[in-house]
Amino acid sequence: MDGWPGPAKFLSMLDPFGRKITYLRVSVTDRCDFRCTYCMAEDMTFLPKAELLSLEELDRLCSAFVAKGVRKLRLTGGEPLVRRNVMGLVRSLSRHLQTGALDELTLTTNGSQLAKYAAELKDAGVRRINVSLDTLDAAKFRGVTRWGRLEQVLEGIEAALGAGLHVKINAVALRGINEDEIETLMRWAHGKGMDFTLIETMPLGEIDADRTAQYLPLSLVRARLAQSFTLDDSDYRTGGPARYVRVAETGGRLGFITPLTHNFCESCNRVRLTCTGKLYMCLGQDDAADLRTPLRASRDDALLSTAIDEAISRKPKGHDFVIDRRRQAPAVARHMSVTGG
């Protein structure tokens, strides 16, 4: 790309607490082909397509962040692979990998479209993906996702592994639903050479279920696993919030993402961009910056760069997630699919 700065010219974004912002998560769509019970209601109203940024606009926004020091881009949704022509965006953004401006371009997916896109993702420079999978029981999977087919997701995972992608399995720990299956999921993932990460359910958006009934603290899960497995702390990091252990008996890595029992805000290096151009400086706060207006106001990025700087200057110290039976409303009203987790 003509005029693109060399790596030596890249800047750094620092928030008010001295944290370097190097990781941008981009929700390319709020739509999803599943309706997971902990994520959204079955009868969802999604954004009108006219409100979404074009793929070219998303590319320009992402590139502006790369120029300001972001080293890792993760495409999310909703389900990112249901966005029409999304692979054009992936291929375009991969130019930043080739220049050395970007260390990693990756995505989080429910796996439903992986059989179709896995080889193309690898060819476009993606090396590592996260697949959300909460159970290996087909009936339970249908119950959790409402619309999903386990066979389709497993086929997609095999396609990703076959294409040479490194796959990490993410599972939300759900009391009474998959808590008796966590060991099975871990052994299965490690047996295929995949990392496995557990996530506490987060109080985002109105859903049809009671989150206080779903919530399973990972401190309890880890204590249970430690009765049967040797869990050795690891300094392995992927740039995200997971903290890892090495499981001696399987040889695999096990991650824990604990926004409730032990928040990870002190080392937060992330901001989140929505498909409408809103920038959320914290997943657990409502404050957001409008980047669509400065993006469309000028052909150059001067206004956009200023808006990004102002937004980063408002990044809070941390989130205030809590799950409490006395408080029925979610901590944050927007659904996970809006900001992509």
Q: What is the pLDDT of residues 73-106, one digit of tens each?
A: 999 999 999 999 999 999 999 999 999 999 999 9
Q: Which stretch of 6-20, 96-110, 174-188, 227-241 has the lowest confidence by average pLDDT? A: 6-20
Token pair in block for residue 259: 């926004």
Pairing of strands 23-27, 104-109: unpaired
Q: Which residue has the tokens 């995505």?
A: 107
CB-based burial, 150-166: b 16+ in 10 Å, e otherwise: beebbbbbebbbebebe
Q: What is the pLDDT of residues 262-312, one digit of tens each?
A: 555 777 899 999 999 999 998 777 889 999 999 999 999 999 999 999 999
Work out the percent of the chain whose per-residue pLDDT is above 90.
71
The per-residue pLDDT for 299 is: 93
Q: What is the pLDDT of residues 39-49, one digit of tens each?
A: 777 777 788 88
Q: Determine how many CB atoms are found less than 10 A away from the CB of residue 16.
A: 11
Q: What is the pLDDT of residues 107-153, one digit of tens each?
A: 999 999 999 999 999 999 999 999 999 999 999 999 999 888 999 99
Please report, in angstroms and rounded to a whole number, the separation of the first and last CA atoms in the chain.
31
* pTM of this structure: 0.86
Domain locations in the chain? 7-339
The per-residue pLDDT for 317 is: 83
Segment 12-22 shows an average pLDDT of 93
Q: For 7-339, give the CATH class.
A: alpha beta
pLDDT band at 209 (very low <50, low <70, confident <90, very high): low
Q: How many whole angstroms separate alpha carbon 243 and alpha carbon 248?
A: 16
